Amino acid sequence: EDRELLERQQHEDLSTKKLRLTKPSKSAALHVDLCKATSPADALQYLLQFARKPVEVESVEGVVRILLEHYYKENDASVRLKIASLLGLLSKTAGFSPDCIMDDAINTLQNEKSHQVLAQLLDTLLVIGTKLTENPSVRMRLVEVACKHLTDSSHGVRNKCLQLIGCLGPVEKGVAKEAESQAAKDVQKIIGDHFNDQDPRVRTAAIKAMLQLHERGLKLQQAIYGQACKLLADDYEQVRSAAVQLIWVLSQLYPESIVPIPSSNEEIRLVDDAFGKICHMVSDGSWVVRVQAAKLLGSMQQVSSHFLEQTLDKKLMSDLRRKRTAHERAKELYSSGEFSSGRKWGDDAPKEEIDTGAVNLIESGACGAFVHGLEDEMYEVRIAAVEALCMLAQSSPSFAEKCLDFLVDMFNDEIEEVRLQSIHTMRKISNNITLREDQLDTVLAVLEDSSRDIREALHELLCCTNVSTKEGIHLALVELLKNLTKYPTDRESIWKCLKFLGSRHPTLVLPLVPELLSTHPFFDTPEPDMDDPAYIAVLVLIFNAAKSCPTMPALFSDHTFRHYAYLRDSLSHLVPPLRLPGRKLVSSPVSPSITPHEDPSQQFLHQSLERVYNLQHLDPQGIQELLEFTIRDLQRLGELQSELAGMADFTATYLQCQLLLIKALQEKLWNVAAPLYLKQNALASAAAKQILEETYKMEFMYSGVESRQVVIIHHMRLQAKALQLIVTARTTRGVEPLFGMCEKFLQEVDSFQRCFISELPQMQGSFVDKLLDLMPRLVTSKPSEVVKILQTTLRQSTFLHLPLPEQLHRASANIIEPTGESDNPLRFTSGLVVALDVDATLEHVQDPQGTVKVQVLYPDGQAQLIHPKPADFRNPGPGRHRLITQVYLSHTAWTEPCQIEVRLLLAYNSNRSKAAAKIAKSTWNESPEALPQPENGIEGTIPFSKPVKVYIMPKPARR
Amino acid sequence: MRGTLRRRAGAGRHRRSGVRAGQDVGRSCILVSIAGKNVMLDCGMHMGYNDDRRFPDFSYITQNGRLTDFLDCVIISHFHLDHCGALPYFSEMVGYDGPIYMTHPTKAICPILLEDYRKITVDKKGETNFFTSQMIKDCMKKVVAVHLHQTVQVDEELEIKAYYAGHVLGAAMFQIKVGCESVVYTGDYNMTPDRHLGAAWIDKCRPDLLITESTYATTIRDSKRCRERDFLKKVHETVERGGKVLIPVFALGRAQELCILLETFWERMNLKAPIYFSTGLTEKANHYYKLFITWTNQKIRKTFVQRNMFEFKHIKAFDRAFADNPGPMVVFATPGMLHAGQSLQIFRKWAGNEKNMVIMPGYCVQGTVGHKILSGQRKLEMEGRQIVSLSQFAHGIQGKVAPDSQHLCSPPLLLQLEVKMQVEYMSFSAHADAKGIMQLIRQAEPRNVLLVHGEAKKMEFLKQKIEQEFHVNCYMPANGETTTIFTNPSIPVDISLGLLKRETAIGLLPDAKKPKLMHGTLIMKDNSFRLVSPEQALKELGLAEHQLRFTCRVHIQDPRKEHETVLRVYNHLKGVLKDYSVQHLPDGSITVESILIQATAHSEDQGTKVLLVSWTYQDEELGSYLTSLLKKGLPQSSS
């Protein structure tokens, strides 16, 4: 190691020397180049070349000086421009403080004639200024410079000046008041004066500068509100767009101040006025402005409800007579009890005459803003409007109720993104609303959509929707069943949806039960097929409703109870425990006593673990038995209690490792001469291998594993490696290969110590503890001795207590598609590619995009690893992921169809693990060789889903 | 010379005359005279007449003399026959050889429609004195196609520019500009996007006159989403229960919209029932829709790389035999009012079954089968053989087609047809409603508005609203009436850069809102105006510069010596006029800027000094101030 260190030092010396050498040469070379340049074009070329290479921090100042020197000499504006931009680039260099060049930069401004160069110089000053924001006097000076150039005739210069003022203008009131010169006193006024500039770009820059000031914390004056309102009528879209933002900012700053309405004596709150103005911009000519306006509307929550509700208002008329909207008609039909009448000609016939004077065609206000926004030509505007609607509805229940019709309408938008967005929006506000039947009808119609995302979003929506009538529930059920027959893959999602639908509306489901179960008061009806997904769907709805409706089970027929018992067992996540009459055994132990307060199963878990950890000095036979029992108990517990499954599995795995270790180390077998006991060796090496595998699983398959556990896992892994070493030492002849192995092992011990130095005190009496004590001896001894030492230490070391984390979940995956049930082989021409749709749910997988892979195993043993695209993963809820991807298969021709296996793998890489992060930190200065360095970032894989068999048949290509 | 750059009270007279257009939705033909240029906007025909009245009376334009000499160009806004139907008659039979402007899609589709129309009128009805196929071809040769937002220079002064108008494929609004005067003609337009076309859009071009259609002047329409949803639901339900759906449409326009609507719905909902589309004209038209993707809406434009939406996957060509096929289907058939042709045939076949449905997507003229069933008639008297009574491709829009009952009377034999199928009505219209019209006016900010293409009573309402909200003049001329609008043209003057720079250097930054004072010489020569500096003007005109000086004598009572008086005057002026350069010259005179002051003793009275003040006319202000100052006398004893 010492040698290595020496080398590195030398290396560092070399590099520092190099730096020193280049420093003068860089600027000097530039100087020489620039002097050599005969024409401006030449000089420009040199500068361009120079700009491509980075400049070290130390040499920046020198380079700047040289550039400045040439700047003054240069006659050509383009070269000066390039120099100016280079100055800006250079002052951006990290670690360089540009205050030393500020004066020079300001001086260059004085004699500059070219507007472009001026603008570029101001830009450079802006860079300098932003690097020196801490220094108020510098800022002051720069702002003064900017103010001086505000009268320039070029828009570019004025633009930059405003930008500079916006970024650097004084924000704090009262700081260095007397020191401030006149110019910098009121930046707001200065910027405000340029709201009327003749150039639209300058106007935009002025508004942006104002917004910049606001962002930096300056409270804008209310006085500019009037000016900003005028800018809304500007000819240029970028000005209008910025003005909308400014108005919004002001409305948030002074929501309650009163402004007069022009051409009348009335006054309204500023936020209402601003809201009206922004609403007006939703029908602007430029879609950029429309998007901007629609987006901002969502965040104006202080607006009064009167104005808010106007946004959805659009008075219809036909031939000057008032007409009702389709929404109003639907509502009326509904309230009159008649639903879904066919539309007839003249159904929408206009009713009363309208007073022509009262019709306001261009509303100066919020009227119909969302009606326009949702009907806009550009889907960007529509999405923005939907988002705004969502935000406003979340804060106002009455508005939520009103906007429902419009949201439901958006479910039929031509762009899928908009449809999806509006479904999500509806879900978000569903707490505030109850769907009317006609609305529900429209919502449910979308269930037939061929896009899976839409359907699933809709299922999520139905999960949290309130329905008002039993007809509604029935309708929903019918449509969901239709959906199920059309798209059988939606099964899980539909069941889940019905589960919530049932538990939310028990009283509405109750009257439907006889019909749904098709029971008859006198006749026995045939028993439905238990495997029919549609029947299961109905039962899920009913059982969940029955949970809070004790009278419901009375309506069940005998087979329903049987089916309940079956479903409760097979689909326990969908079917709740029920208290059924005469069936106490089924329900009583679980239902009432379940309280998180003092969970007996949790207690049981801890008790069994205690037992294991405490009994250290039992005879080996006893320990083995105890471990076996405990493992069995834990595994069963995990099956029973889904919330404890992760914890139980985790500990069971750990105990399993320990058990394997103990078995492998059984003393009497090891006493016999090595070559004779091949069987023992086989057992031990198999155990070591399995322990290694299990430790990887423990480390990477569970979410919620903390560093406390990681230590224990790594410790176990170390033990397994020691075991491996011992076995190999006994089986191999000759000493030579052992040297390398021993060294490697010791290195691992070393890195373990370094990684977990803080945890070591808690590992008294453990394997590694003892090993570290013996370390000096180990380093110097021969391999055979090392092996001996290891063997004894392994045997003598105590069993480490595995502390349990708060939450522990095992990653799991379930392949929904392909189902593996098909008998029809997937035929394709050999050599060509066939796409196989894979759909899987993943639970508790951290970073699935990086870790989850699909493996395809061909009958010939060939395995193929597929990395799904990041976009193939969807995240429907916390801890849950969904993988919908396509796997491309190909093979040479087969004589007959055969099955391939598809499964999901969890790729791991110890570099990514927490331990590795620690190593990376602690071994900053150490040699990195101790760590395994996998090239592609995958060190190994853990299969974590059941394999699914797919029948395929590559046919030979026809010629 | 002193004067402001802005001119008041315009010189340009701006005239517009309507040729039998205006308050009528029959045919459009508008004549605009703008700054001496004559432009004809649209050349439509009336669908209700079968005699001379169907074409505009072009003799109205020029009593005698050739049309080509009088008109500078003709602009066609879109391909509907009430906007372009009279074109071959006008150009070939009346005789016009000047340029005709239309957009590319219009140019492509227009001849098909004209040819179809000609066939029906000449071949089926046997009329004579009508334009021939060759005439249509010759007429189209005179057409110049334009792109959206392309400024086309018709001649040196007249330029036109097309804007997107929605309505139908290729519909455009046109801006006509001569000098600084401009007119915008909207044609028919739609401010709400539909399934295949976008919304009309215009920039803030501030024309002197906006000529806008006003078909729906008194209507504010509901959101199209409800209509679409209802339509789709109806079709879906019928198809699901195994019924057949008949949708009578006109070949172009709405038909494509409904096709797209159903096509996407079928795609979305994964439906399998077949959709058919009657062959012939519609097929041809679909071909052009496929070609002119850039003229469609956002969705179609964005997705056409993957798939052209008009390459229908679910919609197939219809064959007569398909009507008898069992099972559900949807058929689009022409014509739209169920008065003849394929749609009527299918209707007769399907009417007896209550599972079936007919959806009328537009207005139906009184007397047609469409109108009868819409008004609830369940028993129809059908003729044994239906006579083609109305042309196939009239607008399916309210009030557009006049009733034509001539051919519906006295049929030879009558059949009773009981209508059991469901009858639905869905209004899909592509005109801007009152709100849309107002929105367009807001976008364009015209100085005057002129309403055409609507009913007088309805226009009255809109006129009042426009005047009230925008404070602009609004006109609604009757057919044949001429409206004259006076404009307030600004007259551009070229200014020499030197002068401009010099003048801006003196004052502050130019402010767009305020007029600015400026010295210069205005030269009016060869119909152009130039503002140049006086020196340059003199040089150009070859004149010598004359100097105009004002001199004035001021008497001052001062007994002292002349040079002392001068000194006193000098000190006094120096004290008062701090901002000016006051100099005492060695020859005993004083200069204030360029004003010269000399003092001499009065020849008679030595105690009175005469101050001679002399200044050029440029310094008039200062000079007169100085004299008045001196006239007040000098302050007493300032040693």
Query: Domains of chain B, with CATH numbers?
Result: 2-220+429-486 (3.60.15.10), 224-383+414-425 (3.40.50.10890), 496-541 (no CATH), 549-632 (3.30.310)
Domain ranges across chain A: 34-171+185-257, 433-580, 611-796, 811-915+938-955
Phi-psi region of A873 (alpha: psi -120 to 50; beta: other; left: phi over 0): beta
- In the predicted model, is pLDDT for residue A317 greater than 70? no
CA A894/CA B386 separation, integer angstroms: 66
- Which amino acid is present at B390? L
Residue B504 to residue A153, Cβ atoms within 8 A: yes
- The residues facing B183 across adjacent strands are B176, B209
CA A141-A145-A149 angle, 5° bins: 165
CA B377/CA B212 separation, integer angstroms: 38
Under DSSP, is residue B381 helix (H, G, I), strand (E, B) or coil? strand
Q: Which range is least confidently modeled, A171-175, A272-276, A500-504, A700-704?
A: A171-175
- Which amino acid is present at B373? I
Q: A672 is written with which tokens?
A: 């016999």
Give the gap in angstroms from C-alpha A817 to the nearest C-alpha of chain B. 20
CA B47/CA B401 separation, integer angstroms: 6
CB A893 within 8 A of CB A956: yes
- In the predicted model, is pLDDT for residue B229 greater than 70? yes
CA A280/CA A233 separation, integer angstroms: 11
From A342, A410, A414, residue closest to B195, measured CB to CB: A414
Closest by CA to A723, choosing from A797, A653, A782, is A797
Q: Which range is least confidently modeled, A239-248, A479-488, A791-800, B78-87?
A: A791-800
| Distance separating the N- and C-terminal Cα atoms of chain A | 66
Count of other CB atoms within 10 angstroms of residue A856: 22
Closest by CA to B422, choosing from A345, A246, A611, is A345
Q: Is A230 on the interface with B (CB under 8 A)?
A: no
* Dmax (CA) of chain A: 112
Handedness of CA B506, B509, B510, B513 (dihedral sign): negative
- In the predicted model, is pLDDT for residue B137 greater than 70? yes
Share of chain A above pLDDT 90, in %: 9
Share of chain B above pLDDT 70, in %: 88
pLDDT digits 0-9 by tens, A522-558? 777 778 888 888 999 999 999 999 888 888 888 888 8
CB B294 within 8 A of CB B301: yes
Q: Which of B149, B223, B451 to mutate to test the interface with A (most CBs of A within 10 A)?
A: B223
Count of other CB atoms within 10 angstroms of residue B400: 20
From B230, B458, B465, residue closest to A361, measured CB to CB: B465
CA A501/CA A491 separation, integer angstroms: 15
DSSP B352: T
H helix or E strand, kind and range, residue A545: helix A533-546
Residue B375 to residue A318, Cβ atoms within 8 A: no
Residue A285 to residue B360, Cβ atoms within 8 A: no
Is A811-915+938-955 the same fold as A34-171+185-257? Answer: no
CA A890/CA A952 separation, integer angstroms: 10
Q: Which range is least confidently modeled, A311-315, A588-592, A779-783, B463-467?
A: A588-592
Using CB atoms and an 8 Å cut-off, which of residues 693-732 of chain A contact chain B? Answer: none
- In the predicted model, is pLDDT for residue B23 greater than 60? no
How far is the CA of A454 from the CAs of A85, A406, A483, in angstroms? Answer: 51, 18, 12
Tell me which chain A residues have a C-beta less than 8 angstroms from the C-beta of B220: 314-318, 323, 361
CB B104 within 8 A of CB B148: no
- In the predicted model, is pLDDT for residue A938 greater than 60? yes
| Distance separating the N- and C-terminal Cα atoms of chain B | 44
Residue A450 to residue B204, Cβ atoms within 8 A: no
Tell me which chain B residues have a C-beta less than 8 angstroms from the C-beta of A343: 230, 234, 424-426
- Which amino acid is present at A664? A
Q: Quickly name the fold that domain A34-171+185-257 has.
A: Leucine-rich Repeat Variant (1.25.10)
Q: What is B125-140 written as a DSSP string?
A: T---S---HHHHHHHH
CA A869/CA A872 separation, integer angstroms: 5
**Residue listed under structure tokens 């853990």:** A942
Residue B461 to residue A356, Cβ atoms within 8 A: yes
For residue A763, the Cα-to-chain-centroid distance in whole angstroms is 38
- Which amino acid is present at B400? K
**Residue listed under structure tokens 């937002």:** B149
Closest by CA to A711, choosing from A665, A647, A768, is A768
Task: Name which CATH class applies to A811-915+938-955.
Answer: mainly beta
CA B605/CA A94 separation, integer angstroms: 87
Handedness of CA A753, A754, A755, A759 (dihedral sign): positive
pLDDT digits 0-9 by tens, A52-61? 877 777 778 8
CB A317 within 8 A of CB A335: no
**Residue listed under structure tokens 């257009």:** B21
DSSP H helices, B248-393, are: 254-269, 281-291, 298-303, 341-350, 369-374
Tell me which chain B residues have a C-beta less than 8 angstroms from the C-beta of A371: 223
Q: A26 is written with which tokens?
A: 């860089």
Tell me which chain A residues have a C-beta less than 8 angstroms from the C-beta of B225: 374-375, 409-410, 412-413
Q: B441 is written with which tokens?
A: 């006016």
Tell me which chain A residues have a C-beta less than 8 angstroms from the C-beta of B270: 448, 450, 486
CA A648/CA A602 separation, integer angstroms: 9
**Average pLDDT estimate for B552-580:** 81
pLDDT digits 0-9 by tens, B125-136? 777 778 899 999
How far is the CA of A111 from the CAs of A117, A564, A934, B26, in angstroms? Answer: 11, 91, 61, 71
How far is the CA of B492 from the CAs of B179, B306, B530, B532, in angstroms? Answer: 9, 51, 9, 14
CB B585 within 8 A of CB B591: yes
Q: What is the pLDDT confidence band of residue A597, given thresholds at 50, 70 and 90?
A: very low
pLDDT digits 0-9 by tens, A414-457? 888 899 889 988 888 887 778 888 888 888 888 888 888 889 88
Q: What is the pLDDT confidence band of residue A918, given thresholds at 50, 70 and 90?
A: very low
Q: Which range is least confidently modeled, A118-122, A576-580, B403-407?
A: B403-407
For residue A784, the Cα-to-chain-centroid distance in whole angstroms is 53
Pairs from B198-201 (Cβ < 8 Å, separation ≥ 24): B198/A377, B198/B164, B198/B166, B198/B296, B198/B297, B198/B298, B199/A377, B199/B166, B200/B163, B200/B164, B200/B165, B200/B166, B200/B167, B200/B173, B200/B432, B200/B436, B200/B440, B201/A285, B201/B163, B201/B164, B201/B443
A685 Cβ contact list (under 8 Å, min separation 6): A724, A727, A728
Count of other CB atoms within 10 angstroms of residue A90: 21
Phi-psi region of B153 (alpha: psi -120 to 50; beta: other; left: phi over 0): beta
CB B82 within 8 A of CB B47: yes
Residue A486 to residue B270, Cβ atoms within 8 A: yes
CB A158 within 8 A of CB A197: yes
Residue B222 to residue A323, Cβ atoms within 8 A: yes
pLDDT digits 0-9 by tens, A333-364? 555 544 333 344 444 555 555 565 555 555 55
CB B392 within 8 A of CB A311: no
For residue A545, the Cα-to-chain-centroid distance in whole angstroms is 34
Q: Is A371 on the interface with B (CB under 8 A)?
A: yes
CB B41 within 8 A of CB B190: no
pLDDT digits 0-9 by tens, B577-625? 877 788 888 887 888 877 888 888 777 777 788 888 888 887 888 888 8
DSSP A353: B
Phi-psi region of B545 (alpha: psi -120 to 50; beta: other; left: phi over 0): beta
Count of other CB atoms within 10 angstroms of residue A172: 10
Strand-pair category, B549-557 with B181-185: unpaired
The catalytic site residues of B sit at 213
Highest mean pLDDT among B32-36, B214-218, B359-363, B558-562: B32-36
Residue B225 to residue A409, Cβ atoms within 8 A: yes
Under DSSP, is residue B3 helix (H, G, I), strand (E, B) or coil? strand
Rg (CA), chain B: 37
Q: Which range is least confidently modeled, A29-43, B148-162, B278-292?
A: A29-43
Residue B335: its pLDDT value, please?
A: 80
Q: Is A349 on the interface with B (CB under 8 A)?
A: no
**Average pLDDT estimate for A163-191:** 68
Q: Is A548 on the interface with B (CB under 8 A)?
A: no
- The residues facing B211 across adjacent strands are B185, B450
Handedness of CA A642, A647, A649, A655 (dihedral sign): negative
Sheet holding B549-557, edge to edge: B549-557, B608-616, B595-601, B590-592, B582-584
